[in-house]
Chain A
Amino acid sequence: MKAKDFYKFVAPSLIAMGTLLVFPLVMATWLGLNFMTYRNINNPVFVGLANYIEVLTDQRFWQAFRFTVLFIAITVPATIVIGFLLALFLDQISGHVRGVFITTYLLPMVIVPVVGTMMFRLLFVPSGIAAWLYQEILKQPFFFNEVSVKILIILNAIWTTTPFPFIVMYAGLQTLPQEQIEAALMDGANRRQQVRYIVIPHLSSLLVFLGLILIMDAYRVFDSIFVLTQQNPIYKAASVMSYIFRTAMAVQQLGLANAMAILTVIMVMIVLIPLLVHTYHDQIEER
């Protein structure tokens, strides 16, 4: 293909990405170099790297960052493992029942995240059914505190996010050559050995892909934090995104919020670039 033809093909994507990704990123970087509030939004004051230095020396930002890292460290592996187990389970089912299970497992993905989180929270308010069950079983009232709110945030995230790795890995399992399984069976491999030595290697590239996507998604967690914590500081469960939101909306420091957003993009890239490079090399080797 000639270079001219190649660029004609990719031009629409490049224009869309430039408009929707690159331009806002450049704007955000520029805004982060300015002192800007709602009152001087049309006349921001250039302050250089002052906003970035303020973010890097802000204890609350690092507290939010630590919680975000903890959130990623728990939810990403959990959703991948649970999604994988569900995909394995569903792969054993045939007939009409399979469709019922697929629909059920995908439901959390269909519900709007904020609505789903509000419904989830309502289960645990004093008049909620989960709070009642908790009291009936454990003989003490359920109430929101630092530990319980963080657990609820993580559980809610696992519930809403698991359908995605589930459906990706289920699709991946459909491409697994049955001959390999049959050969392993003939060699006396049990189910666990089949999964460990055949299924997981077959899905390895999908697992890396899922890890990348889920880490990026988990880093942007906001809805569940906002709804479940009501921005109450006693829960110490602010994420980076919710802290940026608070900085922009409550404290009205728009330049500072932009600086935070750019720093988080940089941090995500620091984590993801080695993975991307590793994946790229793997792909080249496979070819």
Chain B
Amino acid sequence: MKKIQFVWFALLSLLVVVSLIGCQPQATAPVEQPTAVVVEQPTAAVVEQPTATVDPTACNLDAPSTPVEINMIGWSFPITDFYASELKKCNQVENLTVNTQQLDSASAHEQMRLGLAGGGKAPWAIIHNTAQDLAEFGSAGWLYPLDDLVKKYWTEYKLDDIPEAAWTTVTYEGHIYGVPWDANTIMMFYNMDLFTEYNIIPPTTYDEVIAACKILKNEPSLAVPFTMNLHAGWAWEIEFFNFIGSFGGKYFNPDNTPAFNSPEGVAALTKMKEVVDACMGPQGLTYSIDDSEIGMETGTIGFVNIWASRAANMDNPEKSNFVGRIGFAPAAAPNPAGKLGGSSWYDAYSIPANTGVDPDLVFRVIMEATDFQSQLEASQLGIVVRTSVAAAGGGGSRYLGAVNETLAKGVGSLPSNPALVLMQAALGNWLPLVGTGEKTPAEALQAAADEYLAQATQQGFVK
């Protein structure tokens, strides 16, 4: 190859490589797994200012006598990434190294199950999980019970600042298995300008949602009037839980047989289908959480029912064209006489039972990352559990009212049942077929119940 040809080739290759590096997309936000959420009202706690000798932004731990490495695994979205970075604050402590690994939710769960089920020393000392994971992992004996550590550090880390209801969701069969630090729910976001123009009051029931959709259907600026997240099987399952709870139904019978294929379940799924037909259509069924958020930020959707953790982005001028003009309301009630159609979720940190690191040290690292100061900063990104944060002027003032009302009057959290993952898989396989009309609600629920029962019986959850 001639010299000039070589130079051209080298320059072109460099340009291609630099372009590829520069054009790498951000990892899409992983599935936001709901965590056990306890509905609670924030108390007007007195905020105790840290003493002059303690730096609240630092990791205030004594250095271990020998080098210790703490690995953490979790899934990524803004507030969880923040807490992961808070854990890494403890790298400033001598002899202590904290490594974090943030994946997408599906990969993180896959890695956790494989790592914890195999026996032997766990690859991580801290795992990020949800209340539903706690039931599955706790029942399998994969998690370290934190009762003694919570009791030991109750005063030092002001753990009474976390409501009792939150602790309940991370408790399985009488043992605490996680430290909750983040709450979430599903609630309504609406375009205030549009609602004012069309004289629409934020709906409180799904009948009112359908009525509002009929009004907004011909608005030319809208791609769809309303969306809720139904773009995947797991998304249908989450919304179905919101709806069935409002109709008074439940997932499990006491013997773990399915209870969701009840008249209440059929009524719930029928109502979901009515909303899909009136408000979303085939196009709306493909909207993911990201698409719904972008639709609100760009004004192509009138109102949505999505995760409260997306609320902060509505007032972010880098993302939203409607800063200050997106309103927030509690989730609507699918059953006018029932609970609000918003469920409660917590994220928590747990310690594997077979960790090779001193659980006391690990617990204190978690405490340093989820203390008042950390949660005050985290409140700009999502909903935190420490009730003193709101009193101290933490973020989220525009939407916290709607969040708290949904948490208080909503359907609560998913059942803490180790068979839940099988039920979710079965429901995710059949519920979407109702949206396309391939199955009636009763047919879909019966098929899901049969599929769940077969698996649960085979795996010993149903005798």
Seen from chain A, the residues whose Cβ lies within 8 Å of a Cβ on chain B are 35, 37-39, 41-42, 96, 99-100, 103, 107, 110-111, 115, 118-119, 122, 125-127, 141, 143-145, 230-234, 246, 249-253
Contacts and interface: CB of A to CB of B under 8 A. Distances in A.
28 contacts: A35-B458, A37-B459, A38-B114, A41-B117, A41-B118, A99-B5, A115-B24, A125-B288, A125-B290, A126-B223, A126-B286, A126-B300, A127-B291, A127-B294, A143-B286, A145-B282, A231-B428, A232-B232, A232-B233, A233-B432, A234-B285, A234-B435, A234-B438, A246-B425, A250-B421, A250-B425, A251-B422, A251-B455
B283 A143 contact: yes
B283 A118 contact: no
A58 to B, nearest CB: 11
A115 to B, nearest CB: 7
B432 A232 contact: yes
Contacts of A145: 282
B430 A233 contact: yes
**B contact residues, range:** 35 or more
Contacts of B295: 126-127
B358 interface: no
Given A125-B291, A141-B223, A143-B283, A39 B140 contact: yes
B113 interface: yes
Contacts, number: 103
B16 interface: yes
Contact of B429 (A107, A144, A233): A233
A99 B12 contact: yes
Contacts of B459: 37, 39, 252-253
B300 A110 contact: no
A33 to B, nearest CB: 16
B455 A253 contact: yes
A100 B287 contact: no
A67 to B, nearest CB: 16
Contact of B25 (A37, A122, A233): A122
Nearest to A248: B110
Contact of B231 (A127, A232, A251): A232
Contacts of B316: none
A263 B101 CA distance: 35
B5 A96 contact: yes
A127 B297 CA distance: 11
Contacts of A122: 25
A143 B5 CA distance: 46
Instruction: Label chain B's interface by main secondary structure.
Output: helix
B119 interface: yes
Interface string B420-450: 0110110011101101101000000000000
Contacts of A230: 231-232, 288
Given A38-B140, A249-B110, A99 B8 contact: yes
Nearest to A125: B291
Query: Which of A41, A99, A231, A250 has most B Cβ within 10 Å?
Result: A250
Nearest to A106: B16
Contacts of A125: 286, 288, 290-291
Interface in B270-296: 282-283, 285-288, 290-291, 294-295
B13 A103 contact: yes
When A and B form their complex, which 7 residue pairs have the shortest distance between CB atoms, in order from nearest?
A250-B425, A38-B117, A230-B232, A144-B286, A143-B283, A41-B117, A234-B432
B436 A234 contact: yes
A127 B25 CA distance: 15
Contacts of A35: 458
Interface in B1-41: 5, 8-9, 12-13, 16, 20, 24-25, 28
Contacts of A246: 425
A251 B8 contact: no
B117 A39 contact: yes
Query: Which of A107, A126, A230 has most B Cβ within 10 Å?
Result: A126
B298 interface: yes
Query: Which of A35, A39, A100, A119 has most B Cβ within 10 Å?
Result: A39
Interface in B206-225: 223
B149 interface: no
Contact of A118 (B8, B25, B300): B25
A232 B287 CA distance: 12
A103 B16 contact: yes
B323 interface: no
B44 interface: no
Contacts of B223: 126, 141
A276 B28 CA distance: 42
